[in-house]
Chain A
Amino acid sequence: MSIQTHRAERLPAQPGSVEFDADVLVLGGGPAGTWAAVSAAERGARVLLADKGFCGTSGATAAAGTGVWYIDPDPALREAAMANREKMGGYLQDRRWMARVLDRTYQQSNRLADWGYPYPVDEHGRSQRNSLQGPEYMRLMRKRTKQAGVAILDHSPALELLVDDNGAVAGASGVRRQKQDRWTVRAKAVVIATGGCAFLSKTLGSNVLTGDGYLMAAEAGAEFTSMEFSNPYAISPAFGSVTKTLFYGWATFTYADGSVVPGAASKGGRSAIARALLRGPVYARLDKADDGVQRHMRVSQPNFFLPFDRTGIDPFRDRFPVTLRLEGTVRGTGGLRIIDDACATSLPGLYAAGDAATRELICGGFTGGGSHNAAWAMSSGLWAGQGAADYARQIGTTTARRLLSAATVAFRDRPRRAFDPAALAKAVQGEVFPYELNYFRDASRLNGALARLDAGWRDVAEAGPADPADVFRAREAAAMLATARWMYRSALARQESRGMHRRDDFPDQDGRQRHYVTTGGLDEVWTSVRPHADAVHAEAAE
């Protein structure tokens, strides 16, 4: 028996551009995007996936690999898995969503096993499924995406969303970097799976993640939530890019003189490392790992050792300098607000998955080292793909729709006011990298940064790059700028410390602020609060 696949169609187009017609367009080809594409295609949709880089190597998962929140369907184990992170996340998780993500992740992981993912087998002969090697996983996902009949455009960043006369999202357009032309896809529904925003910090695999999807969605009017939880910093050798932090659980952190940094630890003591780095270099040595652990480390994360093996450092015996690189919303929990179980956003026709969407529902205000992001990417990807396919079927024929660009910055060129994308990106980094601004927050410092960022936005909002070939970079820098403003505006709105958000001027968690902060807007950034689901239920019961 052969399964009928439906494919996106190529349409006639102007010279210098290509055009396609699809039911579902997926932007981003990491785990969230590929799962979305496969699940939409399995629902009978004609699907096209566009990735900024190469679907299979691009994004945080492909380069880094992930632990996965894979828990056997034993009620006691599931209950413990949900309960043990609630405090860390500041009690902002939603139990119903946690339960459905645990279910989904279990099923998806087992599907990966059926597809031939080489899960390791333990000494009792049991297949262990709570870790995925990045290159292996994403190579398999690319293969399955193609087999599902999905057309893939590689090296094809999306730059703007297209909307119809009613404001419904109806496609996107971008550039093909290796062909030096433009692409346009008319679609009935769009899934944003462009990952988070790591501000070009070189945290592993994340320089393709500049918040592009946020900017595009905001221009069309979408909302964000939990953007204050966007300041995780990851440990790496000072000179390197490998921000994999698990093994630093076996490290001792020291000052230049060899004395131990008090309170410093990978888990629960990272702020002590940040404070020490504000004063001078900090060194690490993985001296708590015995021979057996060292052997397991080598085979489990071969890329962790590349910076050491290639510089002659023995990380178990030698001290090496470390730094903390900002990971923004990649290991934060903020993102596009989703409004239903199918991961629809507040805009008709637009769905969000993975790091592009909020992870507040399962992580609250804290993630990192928890395997939740990977579980969320595969679960939300599947739901968004199915939701988009169902929506596309329901709206029926759309051939007559007139499509308009939703894009603003870099698309409304005023040639006299050109800006340099690299300089803008650097200016944004100057506001979001410093630990004293972003790790340790405070109203006066946040206000200072926001004043500069808002002024930056006024400068570029109506401008573009001098060279049209730089539109792609200009959009990246503008997306970073917009993301920084939602992040800090939300951080000001939360006048307490909760999850990863810490305020020097409000060091405690405040029981009355167990709510979500919503944000959005470009020229004017706004915030508002939404109650947590428990508060809603409590009111309903009264």
Chain B
Amino acid sequence: MIEVIDAERCTSCDICVTACPTNVFDKTDGIPVIARQSDCQTCFLCELYCPEDALYVSPFADEAQLIDVVMLKRTDVLGSYRRAVGWTDDTRDRRGVDRSYLLFGH
């Protein structure tokens, strides 16, 4: 489930509020809030749409986790999914490297 909006990175662009398919976030005067965490379906898509890599979705689908944001930011996990699918400027070449055709029919 969605666990973190990093206040340091977030620029209050509200893209996540629009892009989340289950309407988990609410706009505020400042940075958005996670208003309905239990509605999160752990699809990771908000991470792809956040231009600042300010969001962290924990892979635990059924229960909330306590996350230490300081520790989290010492790793390269923020933005890792966006980089992996090639949605950052310096990873663009990854958009066309799907090798599924070699794996189907196994």
Contacts and interface: CB of A to CB of B under 8 A. Distances in A.
A78 B87 CA distance: 35
Interface in B51-104: 57-62, 77, 80-81, 84-85, 87, 94-104
Contact of A63 (B44, B84, B94): B44
Contacts of A177: 23
B41 A241 contact: yes
Interface string A38-61: 000000000000001110111100
A53 B77 CA distance: 26
B79 to A, nearest CB: 12
Which residue, B43, B62, B87, has most C-beta atoms of chain A within 10 A? B43
Given A120-B101, A133-B98, A240-B59, A306 B44 contact: yes
Contact of B104 (A67, A250, A293, A302): A67
A309 interface: yes
A62 B22 CA distance: 13
Contact of B59 (A120, A131, A307, A371): A307
A118 B20 contact: no
Contact of A206 (B19, B41, B49, B104): B41
B59 A293 contact: no
B50 interface: no
Nearest to A308: B59
A202 B61 contact: yes
A155 B41 CA distance: 15
A310 B58 contact: yes
Interface residues of B, number: 39
A448 interface: no
Contact of A62 (B45, B84, B96): B45
Contacts of A62: 21, 43, 45
Contacts of B94: 299
A370 B106 CA distance: 12
B12 interface: no
A359 B24 CA distance: 32
B4 to A, nearest CB: 12
Contacts of A246: 100, 103-104, 106
A207 B22 contact: yes
Interface string A54-94: 10111100110001000000000000000000000000000
Nearest to B26: A178
Nearest to A133: B98
Interface in A287-307: 293, 295-297, 299-303, 305-307
A311 B43 CA distance: 16
B22 to A, nearest CB: 6
Contact of B101 (A56, A128, A295): A128
Contact of A54 (B18, B59, B77, B96): B18
A249 interface: yes
B101 to A, nearest CB: 4
A217 B98 CA distance: 38
A300 B58 contact: no
Given A202-B61, A303-B44, A311-B59, A131 B100 contact: yes
A246 to B, nearest CB: 6
A296 B103 CA distance: 8
Interface string A189-222: 0000000000000101111100000000000000
Given A131-B100, A205-B41, A310-B77, A239 B60 contact: yes
A205 B23 CA distance: 13
Interface string A396-420: 0000000000000000000000000
Contact of A250 (B19, B20, B22, B106): B106
A509 B27 CA distance: 55
B42 interface: yes
A54 B21 contact: yes
User: Chain A: interface residue count, which band?
Assistant: 35 or more
B18 A154 contact: yes
A482 B47 CA distance: 34
A54 B19 contact: yes
B51 to A, nearest CB: 14
Interface string A97-141: 000000000000000000000111110000010110101100000
A121 B106 contact: no
A128 B95 CA distance: 13
Nearest to B1: A241
Contacts of B20: 53-54, 57
Contact of B98 (A237, A240, A300): A300
Nearest to B57: A306
A77 B28 CA distance: 56
Contacts of A247: 103
A135 B44 CA distance: 10
A54 B49 CA distance: 12
Contacts of A58: 21
B73 to A, nearest CB: 14
Interface of B: 17-23, 39, 41-45, 48-49, 57-62, 77, 80-81, 84-85, 87, 94-104, 106
15 contacts: A63-B41, A67-B100, A131-B104, A133-B98, A136-B95, A204-B41, A207-B41, A240-B59, A240-B60, A240-B61, A241-B41, A246-B103, A299-B99, A301-B100, A306-B81
Given A53-B21, A59-B21, A205-B43, 4 more contacts: A53-B20, A128-B100, A299-B98, A309-B77
Closest 3 CB pairs of A and B: A53-B21, A131-B100, A302-B84
Interface of A: 52-54, 56-59, 62-63, 67, 118-122, 128, 130-131, 133, 135-136, 154-155, 177-178, 202, 204-208, 237, 239-242, 246-247, 249-250, 293, 295-297, 299-303, 305-307, 309-311, 371
